[in-house]
């Protein structure tokens, strides 16, 4: 084996080690935890009266409500029985430990046990939960609680969009009443007969590019498609909850694996153009693994109506389809290419002629 071949394969091993060690964490944080796809959609419609300097957002398809109060006036959020629950203001966020909402809002399904010491009549017991004036919580008025049952209107007619609920959350700002209003909707997911054949064709094309193509260039084309999908997937990272991280931080975390995919792709395309099929195949295996690591946390967007993305939902779904089907195809196709194009065994040296017996 020549030094050039040894160097190429050493690079592949190094990139593979980096893929295993460095990517699982950033990729799983692409959407800040939680689901990446849903048939439900949450929409904020109004904050009445308007509060300059106060930002209210609906997150995770309606699963969370977020308030960021950058003013010098405190905003208060009552619990479900009107008891004091949250204070969000210049000195951070304070939460009433006695409010049942403190416990009910810790998880999406409201399954956290409410302690017997909680009370809606006792004086509040304030505990500081953040030094910054921003907080996100699972307000159960903004989302559908059941994970096993559809809303009755949806169950009766699942082929059409529905308004599940028009909701409102009361607050007070500097002692004045404020109403935050929104809508929870539901949309039918894409029909399986339409999308799953596309995923299957994409997987088959990537596998055949490695196992059946005459040269490594078709596999390099799949590599390039995967790199484009990886970069788009990273660039369309949605803005996370302010209490989790900054949008810039989320973008950087998502771009790191995408840039590694791009590096592997550049090396793979270069190897394919030089006719080095074994190296192209090995790099395809590494790139395929990287794509799978990026796409698996967002797999639910393949069968849901909405994707958590800063771009169009259709493009987000297409990117994840390439990451998963293309990634799996590159792993299988790259292994096939590395086997098919491996260096031929050196020809045996000719034997010296045997002298004839006289």
Interval 262-312: pLDDT, tens: 999 999 999 999 999 999 999 999 999 999 999 999 999 999 999 999 999
* Token pair of 194 as six digits: 């339409």
pLDDT number for residue 264 = 96
pLDDT number for residue 345 = 45
Of the two residues 247 and 27, the one the predictor is more confident about is: 247
Q: How far apart are CA 162 and CA 9, in angstroms?
A: 55
Decide if 72 contacts 53 (C-beta within 8 A).
Answer: no
pLDDT number for residue 35 = 81
pLDDT surpasses 60 at 358: no
Q: How far apart are CA 211 and CA 216, in angstroms?
A: 10
pLDDT number for residue 240 = 82
Q: Token pair 């008891």 is at which residue? A: 83
Q: Smallest Cα–Cα separation from 235: which of 310, 167, 285, 313? A: 310
Query: Facing residues of 163 across strands?
Result: 185
Radius of gyration of the chain (CA): 28
Domain ranges for the chain: 3-34+190-340, 40-186
pLDDT surpasses 80 at 7: no
pLDDT surpasses 50 at 141: yes
**Entry field: residues in the chain:** 358
Q: Is 183 exposed, middle or buried (0-12, 13-18, 19+ CB in 10 A)?
A: middle
Decide if 26 contacts 51 (C-beta within 8 A).
Answer: no
Q: pLDDT tens-digit profile of 205-260? A: 999 999 999 999 999 999 999 999 999 999 999 888 877 767 788 788 889 999 99
pLDDT surpasses 90 at 318: yes
Q: How far apart are CA 205 and CA 21, in angstroms?
A: 29
Q: Smallest Cα–Cα separation from 295: which of 322, 315, 314? A: 322
């Amino acid at each position: 084996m020549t030094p050039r071949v040894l160097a190429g394969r050493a690079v592949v091993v190094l990139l593979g080690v980096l893929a295993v060690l460095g990517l699982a964490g950033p990729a799983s944080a692409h959407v800040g935890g939680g689901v990446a796809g849903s048939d439900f959609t949450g929409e904020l419609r109004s904050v009445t009266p308007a509060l300059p300097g106060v930002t209210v957002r609906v997150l995770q398809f309606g699963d969370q409500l977020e308030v960021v109060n950058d003013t010098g006036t405190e905003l208060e959020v009552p619990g479900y029985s009107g008891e004091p629950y949250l204070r969000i203001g210049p000195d951070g966020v304070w939460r009433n430990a006695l409010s049942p909402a403190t416990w009910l809002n810790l998880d999406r399904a409201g399954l956290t046990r409410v302690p017997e010491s909680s009370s809606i009549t006792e004086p509040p017991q304030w505990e500081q939960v953040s030094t910054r004036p921003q907080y996100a919580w699972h307000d159960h008025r903004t989302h559908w609680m059941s994970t096993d049952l559809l809303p009755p209107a949806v169950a009766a007619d699942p082929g059409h969009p529905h308004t599940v609920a028009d909701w409102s959350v009361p607050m007070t700002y500097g002692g004045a009443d404020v109403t935050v209003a929104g809508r929870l909707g539901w949309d039918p997911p894409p029909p399986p007969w339409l999308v799953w054949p596309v995923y299957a064709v994409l997987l088959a094309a990537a596998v055949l590019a490695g196992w059946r193509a005459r040269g490594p260039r078709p596999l390099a084309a799949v590599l390039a498609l995967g790199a484009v999908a990886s970069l788009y997937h990273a660039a369309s990272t949605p803005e996370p909850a302010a209490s989790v991280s900054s949008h810039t931080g989320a973008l950087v975390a998502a771009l790191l694996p995408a840039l590694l995919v791009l590096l592997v792709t550049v090396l793979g395309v270069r190897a394919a153009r030089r006719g080095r099929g074994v190296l192209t195949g090995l790099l395809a295996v590494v790139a395929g693994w990287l794509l799978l690591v990026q796409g698996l946390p967002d797999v639910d967007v393949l069968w849901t109506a909405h994707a958590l993305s800063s771009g169009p939902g259709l493009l987000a779904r297409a990117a994840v389809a390439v990451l998963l089907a293309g990634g799996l195809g590159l792993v299988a196709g790259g292994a096939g290419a590395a086997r098919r194009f491996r260096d031929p065994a050196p020809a045996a040296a000719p034997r010296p002629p045997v002298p004839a017996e006289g």
